[in-house]
Amino acid sequence: MSVPIIAFFNNKGGVGKTSLVYHLAWMYADLGVRVVAADLDPQANLTAAFLDEDRLAELWSDNRHDDTIFGCIQPLMRGIGDIADPHLEQVSLENQLPLFDQSSLALLIGDLALSSFEDELSTVWPECLDRKERAFRVISAFWRIVQKAATQSHANVVLMDLGPNLGAINRAAMIAADYVVIPLSPDLFSLQGLRNLGPTLRRWREEWGERVTRNPVANLPLPKGKMAPVGYVLLQHSVRLDRPVKAYDRWVARIPEVYRTDVLDEPGWPQVSVDQDPYRLALLKHYRSLMPLAQEARKPIFHLKPADGAIGAHIQAVHGAYRDFSALAREIAVRTGVLLP
């Protein structure tokens, strides 16, 4: 039985996607859910959020890839075998909460070299139609690696971070996803990203459905390519003097209808606001004053303590962040069938 994989994806960058995955991974661990955070973005920003520079230098020095996602696909790329077993980095905090199981959160390490896999994935995609075994092994590599990682860590869920594009790497990653959460910011570019994303997901789902029936190897497990949209997370803007709030409100007001028409391929509901939209998972603040403290302390904002500089009004903001992310994690769990203790 496969573990549910939730992809966080928007082909528009700068919407807080990686930060969202990072904080939700910690929150699920806090809630007692065993989670794998899989970094499939060649920029490896999620990995950089979890690990300090010394560990990153160790992982990526001397062109080493043994412990990264890129290392897992090396046998396939070199034509000497199938995927390698994944290494999982166990993540924990110093002075962690007593009830927190330090093995509850594991990271599948990203790698900047993963970008070199793009051409290979593009080449073998049409070869699946010709029933070529290697093509199916390459296209399904991400899903099989992530499922191995989940089995290895006894995970209840996998959260997958992807880069902001519609290239071959993300196509293979999205085929591996059971569910899709779309982070948005209130601007024209996010709205256009939704318009591009919906038809692309439907096309990928249809094309993979055509290919999967041609699998020539009976005992080669393949992803279903479900990619079911769960909803969207809207990150509130920070008020700027040179951009009136009304400019943001204009784009926010259009999100529910565009999500329905372009992502779900359903009739739009022009009269539905973001506050009333059942597909809106959460409206999150930027927590602008807390983020630098969290980055310095190398922990999620809702774990900040006075010793980290979270004093005065910051303490209330920390508690508010915990409530916000806890509610979001639980809502996503309900919609995807992830079991909470």
pLDDT band at 5 (very low <50, low <70, confident <90, very high): very high
φ, ψ for residue 68, nearest 5 deg? -115, 170
Could you give the domains of the chain?
5-336 (3.40.50.300)
For 36-92, write each residue's pLDDT tens digit. Answer: 999 999 999 999 999 999 999 998 887 788 899 999 999 999 999 999 999 999 998
Name the one residue in this structure whose structure tokens are 């022009």. Answer: 270
Residue 13 tokens, joined:
């960058």
Better-predicted residue by pLDDT, 309 or 115: 115
Q: What's the whole-number average pLDDT of the chain?
A: 90
User: Exposure pattern of 259-297 as b/e (b: 16+ CB <10 Å)?
Assistant: bbbbbeeeeeeeebebeebebbbbebeebeebeebbeeb
pTM for the predicted model, two decimal places: 0.94
Residue 318 tokens, joined:
């920390």
Helix or strand or coil: residue 108?
strand
Give residues with Cβ within 8 angstroms of 1, minimum separation 6: none
What DSSP assignment string belongs to 1-43?
-PPPEEEE--SSS-SSHHHHHHHHHHHHHHTT--EEEEE--TT
Count of CB atoms within 10 A of residue 128's CB? 24
pLDDT band at 16 (very low <50, low <70, confident <90, very high): confident
Instruction: For residues 290-311, give the mean pLDDT.
Output: 90
- Fill in the DSSP letter of residue 280: E
pLDDT band at 6 (very low <50, low <70, confident <90, very high): very high
Give residues with Cβ within 8 angstroms of 335, minimum separation 6: 179, 230, 231, 281
pLDDT band at 295 (very low <50, low <70, confident <90, very high): confident
CA distance 55 to 306: 27
DSSP β-bridge partners for residue 159 = 6, 37
Check residue 184 and give its pLDDT. 92
Q: Which of 155-159, 248-252, 315-319 has the lowest mean pLDDT?
A: 248-252
Instruction: For residues 139-159, give the mean pLDDT.
Output: 97
CA distance 255 to 266: 14
- Does the pLDDT value for residue 239 go beyond 80? no
Check residue 142 and give its pLDDT. 98
Instruction: For residues 23-36, give the mean pLDDT.
Output: 96
For 262-282, write each residue's pLDDT tens digit. Answer: 999 998 777 888 889 999 999
CA distance readout (Å), 290 to 53, 84, 158, 184, 314: 21, 39, 26, 20, 7
- Does the pLDDT value for residue 246 go beyond 70? no
